[in-house]
Amino acid sequence: MDDLADITAFLTVAREGGFRSAARVAGTSASRMGDAVRRLEARLGVRLLHRTTRSVTPTDAGARLLERITPALGEVRAALDVVNDFRDRPAGRLKLNVPTAAAKLVLPPIVPPFLAKYPDIHIEVVADERRIDVVAEGFDAGIRYDKSLEKDMVAVPIGPRVQRYAAAASPAYLARRGRPTHPRELLDHDCLGWRFSNGPLHAWEFERDKETIRVDPKGPLVASFGPATDFAVEAAVAGCGIVYLFEDWLRPFLDRGDLVPVLEPWWLSVSGPFLYYPGRRYLPTPLRAFVDFIKATQPRPSRGRRGHVKNKAR
């Protein structure tokens, strides 16, 4: 069990990229995490981590160990989780990797009632725009807006089955620059763009009567999708230009009148997100409880407001 604890510490440090961040995740001190890694390295007779003042990264040996031991530890956790079946209430940790949009729009109405029903389950949510191997990085499940998953993954609908992309601007901006009536007119407007990480600028798509228009936004501001997205929304409220995001993200500002809908007949509907996890026979008890809860509370599928749904969202 001491070996297992030290291996777990090594995995956490490697995944978090540092001893302090790993200690916060593990609920211990950085010095104890360092001691655990040093003990493991001494027993194996090989260095597992490159350590500098700025970063901690796996050596070749450490990377190979990570690759082989991560699935094995997942099986160990699943085996230990068997005892949950003998408890009166499910317990344990559920770790989810989700995109920022899901953390903001999908999970808030789901997680609080789930935790109220299962007070012995603890959920850890990591918002991340990367497409990752959830198993290799130590997650129980993930959420994504794309149905094309690996063959060994199970996908369960979660949250709204249809979402819309909306365009909006402040009343002051529209009074100053006029209101566009066709998506192509956006080329003459200040558009507040966004991108995933260091990827290309996200195109704006609109659809009406089976006609699809794609616009590459140009304007004074580009934000990375995530925490900076709220900054772009505030910039739109301040009159800097037109913003394009999920309707649910903009809805509070639309309801208050801080933003005004733009090109609403052209708003594009996209399919909703899915919870996905490995298709193994035995699910950890917290994940099984979460899946059952979602299935029991998931609304029936419905068609989009305009009837045509695209699988465009990330």
42/152 Cα distance (integer angstroms) = 37
Q: What is the chain written as a DSSP string?
A: -HHHHHHHHHHHHHHHTSHHHHHHHHTS-HHHHHHHHHHHHHHHTS--EEE-SS-EEE-HHHHHHHHHHHHHHHHHHHHHGGGGGGSSS--EEEEEEE-HHIIIIISTTTHHHHHHH-TTEEEEEEE--S---TTTTT-SEEEES-S---TTEEEEE-S-SEEEEEEEE-HHHHHHH---SSGGGGGGS-EEEEESTTSPBPPEEEEETTEEEEE---SSEEEESSHHHHHHHHHHHTTS-EEEEEHHHHHHHHHHTSSEEESGGGBPEEE--EEEEE--SS--HHHHHHHHHHHHHPPPP---TTS--B----
Q: In CATH terms, is domain 162-270 a member of 3.40.190.290?
A: yes
Those residues with Cβ within 8 angstroms of residue 9's Cβ, 6 or more apart along the chain or in another chain: 22, 26, 32, 33, 36, 37, 40
Mean pLDDT of the chain: 86
pLDDT in tens, 190-237: 999 998 877 788 999 999 998 999 999 999 999 988 878 999 999 999
Structure tokens at 237: 């409220």
The domain locations on the chain are: 1-86, 88-159+272-314, 162-270
pLDDT of residue 139: 87
Averaged over 237-264, what is the pLDDT?
97
Averaged over 274-291, what is the pLDDT?
85
Least confident of 24-38, 103-117, 168-182: 24-38
Q: In CATH terms, is domain 1-86 a member of 3.90.25.10?
A: no
35/128 Cα distance (integer angstroms) = 30
pLDDT of residue 280: 64
pLDDT in tens, 53-94: 778 899 999 999 888 887 777 777 766 666 666 566 788 889
Those residues with Cβ within 8 angstroms of residue 79's Cβ, 6 or more apart along the chain or in another chain: none
Given pLDDT bands bounded at 50, 70 and 90, which one contains residue 110? very high
Averaged over 254-273, what is the pLDDT?
96
Which residues are paired to 277 by β-bridges? 154
Q: In CATH terms, is domain 88-159+272-314 a member of 3.10.50.40?
A: no
pLDDT of residue 254: 97
pTM of the model: 0.71
Q: Is 301 a residue whose pLDDT tops 60?
A: no
Q: Could you tell me which of 313, 45, 7, 288 has the C-alpha nearest to residue 160? A: 313
pLDDT in tens, 114-132: 999 999 999 999 988 877 7
Q: Is 104 a residue whose pLDDT tops 70?
A: yes
Q: Is-same-fold flag (1-86; 88-159+272-314)?
A: no
